[in-house]
Amino acid sequence: MGSAAAVAIEVAVEKASRNDLQSVLFGLSAESLEKLSTAIAEPAQLAQPDVPKTVSIVCRICLEPVDVAPGPQCACRGSASFAHLHCLIKVAESKQTIEAWRRCTVCKECYVGPTRLNLARAMWDKYGSMPDDHPAHMAAADMLMTALQETGHRAEAARMLRENYARLKEQLGEKHMRTLVAANNLANALESPFEKASLMQEAVASASPVFGAEHEFTLGMTYTWATAIKDCGRYEDATRLFEQTLQIMITRLGADHEYTLACTAELALSLHKSGNNARALGMLKQQVVDSKRVFGPEHPNTLDVQESLGSVLLAEGSTAEAKDLLSNTFQASKRVQGPDHPNTLKCSLSLARALHKQNCSTNALEILISTLDSMKRVLGNEDCTTMCCARELGIVLKETGVTDKGVELLGATLKTMTSQLGAEHPETLMCSKALA
Ligand SMILES: [Zn+2]
Ligand SMILES: [Zn+2]
């Protein structure tokens, strides 16, 4: 790689963009403006993946040179930050533990982005042919499904999970525990909250008589069902189901159980969505303390709860506090989960909202444009979070005088929201209100 020439070309591009009159007018970089046109043009297929810049660096395992895109592989930084995929696979194979495929042996953090997916695929290649109730097969399937969903291959994951669910239903019957687990996993990969809700309603109805309504297994599935109801915009029904489930979880599983904590966080969000910010705020503040104690300060679950707290603080008017919390959470999430992880993207949207509220509209626009671009790639055009990000970008554009583009984007988003969520969904109603 002729690095001197590459640097010279980069500098030239940089100068050209600085001189771009339009970008000076808008206070946006040319790159952002270009992404904006892409963001507004409907299909995500238009978003070209960034051309990786290759750098000369050495693999920390075999010490041979690496030609890789300098994206994060884990939380390792500096000269120890890169390793060949085949070297990482060798390390994972030698450890003979499931965790070795998921976590870096140096920094102990989970692998992120393409590395995470490539290792998950390698693990699946190795264990996928074992009997499908073997722990290694199940762990590999679980890791591959999660990795696919978090790296922009949601449709592929949904297809595999749908096939798996149909097969188990056929072979074991719909009340078998493994069929029900498959239903739960499929539900989490589905784009449509309505399909998710009806699948989980059936699954919970099948599980309750077999395992008992208060069994940990049934409770976990009821939790997934309640999140689906919330995503359908039925906030009061969801709140009721979360409250009822949470009571049982506290007595049966304990206050610090992973399900209990997740259910509390979702209940708080459901309350927030139905306008009860005061109660949501108290619950989430406590949740952050509990999550830090149970999972650790930078665990994905803790970061997720912090993001929720930030959003509720923002809705309740504590803008500066919200912005600081969201900004710290975003940095941590980027480091721990990677820049394209769905939770990092969700946090980046909330951070942009906080910046907009603080009148830092140029910053907010830059973040929204690149976040929308990544969400379309990772989550898909018709994901609820992607549509909410598009709506937010439309609002900020409209309010900062880029009215035509804003109205155009809001109109397109309203159309997608109406077809995906229905005209009466609260998120759709917020979009048509923004357009009015
Ligand atoms: Zn190597
Ligand atoms: Zn590492």
Residue 434: give the domain boundaries: 380-436
CA of 68 to the centre of ligand 1 (A): 11
In a domain, 423, yes or no: yes
**Ligand closest in space to the Cα of 59:** 1
CA of 263 to the centre of ligand 2 (A): 31
**Ligand closest in space to the Cα of 80:** 2
CA of 72 to the centre of ligand 2 (A): 9
Largest CA distance in the chain: 69
**Ligand closest in space to the Cα of 102:** 2
CA of 103 to the centre of ligand 2 (A): 8
CA of 102 to the centre of ligand 1 (A): 18
CA of 104 to the centre of ligand 1 (A): 14
In a domain, 94, yes or no: yes
**Ligand closest in space to the Cα of 77:** 2
**Ligand closest in space to the Cα of 66:** 1
In a domain, 256, yes or no: no
- How far, in Å, CA of 3 to CA of 245, rounded? 59
* Ion ligand 1, residue ranges at CB < 5 A: 59, 61-62, 84, 87
Q: What is the pTM of this model?
A: 0.81
Could you tell me if 128 and 137 are in contact, meaning their C-beta atoms sit under 8 angstroms apart?
yes
pLDDT in tens for each of the 436 residues of the chain? 333 333 332 322 233 332 232 332 334 445 554 555 555 554 444 344 444 445 568 888 998 887 765 677 888 887 788 889 999 999 999 987 888 999 998 888 889 888 999 999 999 999 999 988 888 888 898 899 989 988 889 889 999 999 999 999 999 999 999 899 899 999 999 989 999 999 999 999 999 999 999 999 999 999 999 999 999 999 999 999 999 999 999 999 999 999 999 999 999 999 999 999 999 999 999 999 999 999 999 999 999 999 999 999 999 999 999 999 999 999 999 988 889 999 999 999 999 999 999 989 899 999 999 999 999 999 999 999 999 999 999 999 999 999 999 999 999 999 999 999 999 999 999 999 999 8
Query: Helix 113-127 and helix 135-150: axis angle, to 10°?
Result: 150
DSSP assignment letter at 110:
B
**Ligand closest in space to the Cα of 65:** 1
Q: Give phi and psi for 57, each to the nearest 5.
A: -150, 165
- How far, in Å, CA of 184 to CA of 181, rounded? 5
- How far, in Å, CA of 117 to CA of 149, rounded? 10
**How many domains does the structure of the chain reveal?**
2
- How far, in Å, CA of 381 to CA of 378, rounded? 9
128, 157, 178 - which closes a domain: 128
Could you tell me if 209 and 219 are in contact, meaning their C-beta atoms sit under 8 angstroms apart?
no
**Ligand closest in space to the Cα of 115:** 2
In a domain, 170, yes or no: no
128, 155, 179 - which closes a domain: 128
128, 154, 180 - which closes a domain: 128
Helix (H) or strand (E) holding 57: strand 55-58
Domain with residue 90: its CATH number is 3.30.40
**Ligand closest in space to the Cα of 88:** 1
- How far, in Å, CA of 365 to CA of 349, rounded? 10
In a domain, 282, yes or no: no
CA of 59 to the centre of ligand 2 (A): 12
In a domain, 68, yes or no: yes
What pLDDT is attached to residue 416? 96
- How far, in Å, CA of 22 to CA of 402, rounded? 12
Q: Residue 20 CB: number of other CB atoms within 10 A?
A: 15
CA of 381 to the centre of ligand 2 (A): 32
In a domain, 11, yes or no: no
In a domain, 407, yes or no: yes
